[in-house]
C-alpha cells in the first residue's frame, strides 16, 4: 500500500465565542495503492488540504494514523516522510535559477554533484524546459513555474507526491496542458500521488480513482464511472457531473412536482414520504409527446445547438431543468422556445431532503455545477 489514511480526525481550536471548534476532518479513511494516482475531490472548505497536510506531517491529527509504504509515520517529522509537494501558489525560490530550484532537495540530501546534474537534466527534459536552466522564476509563465515546482518536488524521488490544487491559479488551456504532463510524469515515475482538486473534470481526467470528500468525511471512493453511475448519496450525485435537482413531494408512490403528479415505481422509493429531491442527469431526461401517459408536462424555454447535440432548458411547474439530446440517427426533433412537451426521466434518483439541502445547493451553485 502506498498511502493509508486510517480514521484520521482533525479539529481546529474554537474561535472566539465558539464552543467546539471546527471539525475539519472527520474519521477519514482511504488508501492509495502504490504507484497509483488518486484525486481528493470536494468543495472548498471540505478538508482536502488538511488531509494532505496531515499526510505530509505539516499538521498533526487528533486521532487516526498515516502509513506510507506500510510504515507508520504519524509521529515522523516532515523531512523523514519522503514526500514531495506542489501547492497552488507554490513560490519557487525567487533568487535561484530554474536549475538551482530543481537541485535544491538534492543538495540538501548531499547528492554528489554529477548525479545532481544528471537528475536536473532528466527532469528538465521531462517537463520540456530544456534550455531554461539559467532563467529565474520571474522570467517564466505561470504554467512553466508550476512545471518547475513539479520537477523540484519529484527530484529527490519522493515515495509520495502531494499536489494541492496545483493548477488553481492558471487559465483553462494551461491547466489542460499541465494535466497531460502530470499524467506523463506519473507514467514515467509511477510515484504514488494524491491530487487535490475541487474541479470534477480535472479529477476525472487525471486520476485512476476518486475519493469524494464532503465536510471532512469520505463520502465515496471509486473510479469516475462508478461514482458517476452509482453515486452513493445526493451530495456525490450532484457533485460529479451535471445534474438536475428538482424539488418535489412524495406520497404513496406518487411524486408531485408543483401541481403535476407522476407515479414512481416502488423500487425507486427507498425514501420515506415527504419532501424529496429528484436528481436526473441531463442525458437521462427524455422529451416525448405532451400527451404521453406518465410524462410530466413541460415548456421549452431555450434550445442551444452544440454541433453534436442539443442542449435545452425545459420548465416543469416553475422549475427549470437541462436536457441534452444527442443528434444521432437523425432522431432528434428540433424544438423551439414556447413549445409544449412531455418529460420523462429514463433514469433518476430520489433523495430525502436533508436540513442542509440549501447549503449543498448554494455550494454547488457557487461552483457553477448547477444554476
Among 6, 31, 45, 324, binds ligand ADP (CB under 6 A): 45
Strands (E) located in the chain: 3-12, 22-32, 37-41, 63-68, 71-72, 83-87, 160-164, 192-197, 209-214, 217-222, 244-251, 254-257, 260-263, 274-280, 285-288, 296-305, 309-316, 319-326, 340-345, 349-352
Among 3, 8, 48, 55, binds ligand ADP (CB under 6 A): 48
Among 4, 24, 218, 277, binds ligand ADP (CB under 6 A): 24
Contacts with Mg ion, residue ranges (CB under 5 A): 49
Q: Give the one entry of ligand ADP, Mg ion, none that residue 46 binds, where binding means its C-beta sits below a cut-off of 5 to 8 angstroms depending on kind.
A: ligand ADP
- 304-313 long-range CB contacts below 8 Å, 24 or more apart? 310/334, 310/335, 311/282, 312/287
Distances in Å between the Cα of 94 and the Cα atoms of 125, 137, 153, 183 are 22, 6, 16, 27
For position 184 contacting ligand ADP by CB under 6 A, the verdict is no
Residue 66 beta carbon to ligand ADP: minimum distance, rounded to whole angstroms: 15
Residue 238 beta carbon to ligand ADP: minimum distance, rounded to whole angstroms: 17
Q: Give the one entry of ligand ADP, Mg ion, none that residue 22 binds, where binding means its C-beta sits below a cut-off of 5 to 8 angstroms depending on kind.
A: ligand ADP
Q: Give the one entry of ligand ADP, Mg ion, none that residue 47 binds, where binding means its C-beta sits below a cut-off of 5 to 8 angstroms depending on kind.
A: ligand ADP
Residue nearest to Mg ion (CB): 49
For position 22 contacting ligand ADP by CB under 6 A, the verdict is yes
Q: Which stretch binds ligand ADP (CB under 6 A): 42-50, 105-113, 131-139, 259-267?
A: 42-50
Q: Which stretch binds ligand ADP (CB under 6 A): 46-54, 102-110, 313-321, 334-342?
A: 46-54
For position 261 contacting ligand ADP by CB under 6 A, the verdict is no
Q: Which stretch binds ligand ADP (CB under 6 A): 37-45, 139-147, 260-268, 278-286?
A: 37-45
Residue 225 beta carbon to ligand ADP: minimum distance, rounded to whole angstroms: 24
Nearer to Mg ion, 49 or 192 (CB): 49
Among 50, 146, 200, 207, binds ligand ADP (CB under 6 A): 50
Q: Cell 532528466 identifies what position? A: 122
Nearer to ligand ADP, 85 or 345 (CB): 85
Q: Give per-residue burial for 328-341: e unless 16+ CB within 10 Å, then b.
A: eeeeeeebeeebeb
Q: What is the DSSP letter of 48?
A: H
Residue 47 beta carbon to Mg ion: minimum distance, rounded to whole angstroms: 8
Q: Give per-residue burial for 134-168: e unless 16+ CB within 10 Å, then b.
A: eeebeebeebbbbbbbbbbbbbbebbbbbbbbbbb
Strands 274-280 and 244-251: antiparallel
Residue 161 beta carbon to Mg ion: minimum distance, rounded to whole angstroms: 17
**Which strands make up the sheet holding 22-32, listed edge to edge?**
22-32, 3-12, 63-68, 71-72
Residue 196 beta carbon to Mg ion: minimum distance, rounded to whole angstroms: 6
CB count in 10 Å sphere of residue 274:
10
Residues that bind ligand ADP (CB under 6 A): 12, 22, 24, 42, 44-50
Amino acid at each position: 500500500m502506498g498511502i493509508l489514511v486510517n480514521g484520521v480526525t482533525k479539529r481546529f481550536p474554537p474561535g472566539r465565542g465558539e464552543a467546539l471548534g471546527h471539525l475539519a476532518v472527520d474519521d477519514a479513511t482511504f488508501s492509495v495503492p502504490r504507484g497509483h494516482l488518486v484525486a481528493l475531490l470536494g468543495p472548498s472548505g471540505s478538508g482536502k488540504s488538511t488531509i494532505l497536510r496531515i499526510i505530509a506531517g505539516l499538521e498533526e491529527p487528533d486521532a487516526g494514523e498515516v502509513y506510507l509504504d506500510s510504515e507508520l509515520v504519524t509521529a515522523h517529522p516532515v523531512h523523514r516522510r519522503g514526500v514531495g509537494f506542489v501547492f497552488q501558489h507554490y513560490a519557487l525560490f525567487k533568487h535561484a535559477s530554474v536549475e538551482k530550484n530543481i537541485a535544491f532537495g538534492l543538495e540538501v540530501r548531499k547528492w554528489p554533484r554529477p548525479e545532481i546534474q544528471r537528475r536536473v537534466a532528466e527532469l528538465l527534459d521531462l517537463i520540456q524546459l530544456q534550455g531554461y536552466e539559467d532563467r529565474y522564476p520571474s522570467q517564466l509563465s505561470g504554467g512553466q513555474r508550476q512545471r518547475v515546482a513539479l520537477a523540484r518536488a519529484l527530484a529527490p524521488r519522493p515515495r509520495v507526491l502531494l499536489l494541492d490544487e496545483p493548477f488553481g491559479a492558471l487559465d483553462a488551456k494551461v491547466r489542460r496542458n499541465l494535466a497531460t504532463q502530470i499524467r506523463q510524469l506519473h507514467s514515467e515515475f509511477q510515484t504514488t500521488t494524491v491530487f487535490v482538486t475541487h474541479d470534477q473534470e480535472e479529477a476525472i481526467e487525471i486520476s485512476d480513482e476518486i475519493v469524494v470528500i464532503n465536510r471532512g468525511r469520505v463520502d465515496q471512493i471509486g473510479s469516475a464511472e462508478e461514482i458517476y453511475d452509482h453515486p452513493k448519496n445526493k451530495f456525490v450525485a450532484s457533485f460529479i457531473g451535471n445534474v438536475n435537482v428538482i424539488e418535489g413531494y412524495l406520497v404513496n408512490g406518487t411524486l408531485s412536482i408543483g401541481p403535476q403528479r407522476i407515479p414512481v415505481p416502488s423500487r425507486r422509493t427507498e425514501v420515506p414520504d415527504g419532501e424529496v429531491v429528484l436528481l436526473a442527469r441531463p442525458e437521462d431526461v427524455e422529451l416525448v409527446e405532451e400527451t404521453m401517459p406518465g410524462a410530466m408536462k413541460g415548456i421549452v424555454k431555450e434550445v442551444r445547438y452544440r454541433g453534436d447535440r442539443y442542449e435545452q432548458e425545459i420548465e416543469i411547474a416553475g422549475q427549470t431543468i437541462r436536457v441534452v439530446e444527442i443528434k444521432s440517427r437523425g432522431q432528434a426533433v428540433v424544438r423551439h422556445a414556447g413549445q409544449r412537451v412531455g418529460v420523462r426521466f429514463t433514469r433518476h434518483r430520489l433523495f430525502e431532503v436533508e436540513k442542509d439541502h440549501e447549503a449543498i445547493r448554494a455550494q454547488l451553485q457557487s461552483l457553477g455545477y448547477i444554476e
